[in-house]
Amino acid sequence: MSKTVTAIYENGVFRPLKKVRFHEREKVELNIFKENESDDITKTALSIIGVGKSSVKDSAAKHDEYLYGKKRGDLQRAR
């Protein structure tokens, strides 16, 4: 299970800004990004998948129509 923890680096130690639930001396693996870098990474990832760029606002409601070119009821009748 992964978690994103915001922390401040001071005196050679990363100090979480909120309480975290780990056992004392539990080993963890850290991927560290400066705050503005993580925002840039998120923006880049979203631009790759096209989130927010489409004018289509009803993709969930009309999923089958957009994907298969037919309305959901038409697909069920065809079976």
- Count of domains observed in the chain: 1
Tokens coding 15: 């100090």
Tokens coding 29: 């693996």
The confidence score (pLDDT) of residue 74 equals 62
Q: For residue 58, what are the domain limits? A: 7-78
d(CA 14, CA 24): 15
pTM comes to 0.43
H helical segments located in the chain: 35-49, 63-68, 72-78
| pLDDT, one tens digit for every residue, the chain (79 residues) | 778 888 999 999 999 999 999 999 999 998 888 877 767 777 777 666 665 566 656 666 776 776 777 666 665 566 5
Let me know if residue 38 belongs to a domain: yes
Let me know if residue 74 belongs to a domain: yes
Let me know if residue 1 belongs to a domain: no
